[in-house]
């Protein structure tokens, strides 16, 4: 088995899975009908994308593992998502802040992944990019609306951005699998996305009358399977059905 | 490397046209453009379909419905889901666009006009009920991932707009 390729696929897929779970958990809990539908639609897109990734991962693994096993039956330390996507929905500003800070990255990442020498990954990237451009529009719109809204909404949006900022740098860390895949022309060199990312984020924050956080202290660990305290609870819910009724297919 | 052309055996077209999109029953999967190829090899029909959106829950049903329709016509079949080239709303046929409008769903505009509508609030989408373009977006996401929610400010009717996907 190509371990590096397998890990590389999981690294991409787990981001979408965990964010998809977060957004899906808002079903029936969105602050308004329209935002509720939007969050669940974004979740559905992300889950659709991860199915393609996990199906491919199962093929690369080449053993008895199925897409369901890979998605649902790993332990916390085996999930390789960045810390950003597992952060909780403290309030709607956090939900949109998390989405926005990930969407900007996701869009840049998929744009590059389209050029991958791996045809399956490039096909998934091209497909997903169309959906992610809608996600990015939606979350950007909300950052502006809340940032440039009332005194209260501005304060909350700023708090969310300030809190989530510490998780942004990890997006641009390279794992060993990343380096290997970049060398083979399969993976994206995430370090090259950093400048465009912070520029885009700064532009939107500025337009939203929000302050760009100055903190240079960043958290990391998700890509190595070391997660924040929120991850266990999230997985308990995500994996409940598969643990209670083993061998279900999604 | 990839081609946007369809490769569908003429004999199979009438059979596949009977299969409709489970979420938009007036629209055949052929008019939707999700069938990319269908060929007969050694008495086995091989069909390739592509999803509109990655998470489209209708794809499994569409696959099953194709199998059932082909079986009724005397064919065994294999369904394969392909991702490349990625589906675009350009593949909806003129007949499909008309079926959408008749059903009460506004058909997708071109990419530029779509952006003007969704990002800048321009009033370009035609209300499928009264034909007015005095319409506004209520929600960027609608009843399914492929649609946005609109309302007509003339006849006041809410309706779905099929978002442009390029």
> Cβ of A38 and B138 within 8 Å?
no
Q: Domain residues for B63?
A: 7-91
Nearest to A48 among B53, B85, B140 (CB): B53
Nearest to A130 among B86, B138, B144 (CB): B86
Residues B111 and B56 in one domain: no
Whether the ω angle into residue A24 lies within 30 degrees of 0, i.e. cis, is no
Residues B21 and B70 in one domain: yes
pLDDT score of B119 more than 80: no
> Cβ of B57 and A141 within 8 Å?
no
Domains within chain A, CATH numbers bracketed: 3-244 (1.20.1260.10)
Residues B21 and B59 in one domain: yes
**What is the DSSP track for A33-50?**
HHHHHHHHHHHHHHHHHH
Residues B112 and B151 in one domain: yes
Whether residue A216 contacts residue A38, with contact meaning beta carbons closer than 8 Å, is answered with: no
What percent of chain B shows pLDDT beyond 90? 68
- Please enumerate in sequence order all residues whose Cβ is within 8 A of that of A12, keeping only pairs 6 or more positions apart, or say none: A53, A109, A113, A121
> What is the CATH classification number for the domain harbouring B61?
3.30.300.130
**CB contacts, 8 Å: B119 with chain A:** 137
- Show the tokens assigned to A10: 């999981």
Q: Of A80-89, B50-59, B96-105, which gets the smallest average pLDDT?
A: B50-59
Residues B35 and B86 in one domain: yes
Residues B75 and B129 in one domain: no
Provide the domain count of chain B: 2
Whether residue B140 contacts residue B148, with contact meaning beta carbons closer than 8 Å, is answered with: yes
DSSP assignment letter at B136: E
For residue B150, list its beta bridge partners.
B137, B159
Q: How much is the pTM?
A: 0.91
Pairwise CA distance, residues B79 & B73, whole Å:
16
Of B91, B115, B146, the one marking the end of a domain is B91
Residues B137 and B70 in one domain: no
pLDDT score of B2 more than 50: no
Per-residue pLDDT of chain A (250 residues; tens, 9 = 90+): 689 999 999 999 999 999 999 999 999 998 998 899 999 999 999 999 999 999 999 999 999 999 999 999 999 999 999 999 999 999 999 999 999 999 999 999 999 999 999 999 999 999 999 999 999 999 999 999 999 999 999 999 999 999 999 999 999 999 999 999 999 999 999 999 999 999 999 999 999 999 999 988 999 999 999 999 999 999 999 999 999 999 888 7
Q: For the range A159-162, what are the long-range contacts, defined as Cβ-Cβ under 8 Å and sequence gap of 24 or more? A: A159/A93, A160/A90, A160/A91, A160/A93, A160/A94, A160/A96, A160/A97, A160/A98, A161/A97, A161/A101, A161/A205, A161/A210, A161/A213, A162/A213, A162/A215
What is the predicted pLDDT for the residue at B143? 81
Residues B67 and B18 in one domain: yes
In B, what residues contact A, Cβ < 8 A?
Answer: 51, 53-57, 82-87, 118-119, 138-145, 149, 163, 165-166
Residues B158 and B85 in one domain: no
Cβ count near A231 (within 10 Å) = 22
Residues B58 and B118 in one domain: no
Q: Of A54-58, B12-16, B84-88, which gets the smallest average pLDDT?
A: B84-88
> What is the CATH classification number for the domain harbouring B158?
2.20.25
What is the predicted pLDDT for the residue at A248? 83
pLDDT score of B1 more than 60: no
In a domain, B2, yes or no: no
In a domain, B63, yes or no: yes
For residue B44, list its beta bridge partners.
B41, B76
Residues B82 and B20 in one domain: yes
In a domain, B141, yes or no: yes
Mean pLDDT, range B72-96, rounded to an integer: 93
CA neighbours closer than 13 Å in the CB half-sphere of residue A198: 17
In a domain, B11, yes or no: yes
């Amino acid at each position: 088995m190509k371990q590096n390729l397998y890990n590389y696929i999981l690294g991409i897929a787990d981001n979408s899975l965990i964010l998809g779970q977060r957004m899906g958990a808002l079903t029936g809990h969105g602050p308004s009908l329209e935002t509720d539908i939007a969050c669940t639609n974004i979740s559905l897109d992300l889950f659709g994308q991860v199915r393609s990734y996990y199906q491919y991962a199962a093929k690369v693994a080449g053993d008895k593992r199925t897409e369901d096993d890979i998605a649902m039956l790993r332990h916390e330390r085996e999930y390789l998502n960045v810390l950003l996507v597992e952060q909780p929905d403290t309030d709607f500003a956090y939900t949109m802040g998390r989405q926005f800070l990930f969407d900007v990255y996701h869009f840049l990442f998929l744009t590059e992944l389209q050029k991958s020498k791996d045809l399956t990954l490039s096909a998934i990237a091209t497909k997903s990019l169309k959906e992610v451009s809608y996600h990015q529009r939606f979350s950007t719109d909300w950052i502006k609306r809340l940032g440039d809204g009332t005194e209260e909404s501005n304060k909350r949006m700023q708090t969310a951005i300030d809190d989530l900022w510490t998780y942004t740098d990890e997006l641009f860390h390279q794992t060993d699998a990343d380096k290997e895949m970049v060398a083979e022309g399969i993976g994206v060199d995430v370090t090259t996305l950093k400048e465009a990312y912070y520029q885009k984020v700064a532009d939107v924050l500025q337009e939203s009358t929000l302050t760009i956080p100055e903190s240079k202290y960043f958290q990391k660990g998700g890509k190595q399977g070391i997660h924040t305290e929120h991850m266990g609870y999230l997985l308990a819910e995500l994996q409940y059905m598969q643990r209670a009724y083993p061998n279900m297919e999604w | 490397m990839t081609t946007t052309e369809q490769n569908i055996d003429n004999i199979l077209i009438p059979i596949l046209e009977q299969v409709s999109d489970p979420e938009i029953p007036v629209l055949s999967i052929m008019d939707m453009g999700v069938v990319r190829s269908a060929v007969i090899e050694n008495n086995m029909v091989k069909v390739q379909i592509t999803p509109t959106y990655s998470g489209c829950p209708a794809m499994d049903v569409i696959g099953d419905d194709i199998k059932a329709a082909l079986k009724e016509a005397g064919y065994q079949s294999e369904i394969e889901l392909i991702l490349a080239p990625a589906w675009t709303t350009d593949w909806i046929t003129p007949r499909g666009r008309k079926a959408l409008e008749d059903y009460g769903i506004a058909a997708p505009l071109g990419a530029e006009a779509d952006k003007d509508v969704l990002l800048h609030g321009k009033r370009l989408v035609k209300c499928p009920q009264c034909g007015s373009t005095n319409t506004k977006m209520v929600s960027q996401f609608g009843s399914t991932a492929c649609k946005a929610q609109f309302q007509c400010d003339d006849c006041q009717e809410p309706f779905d707009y099929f978002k442009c996907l390029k």
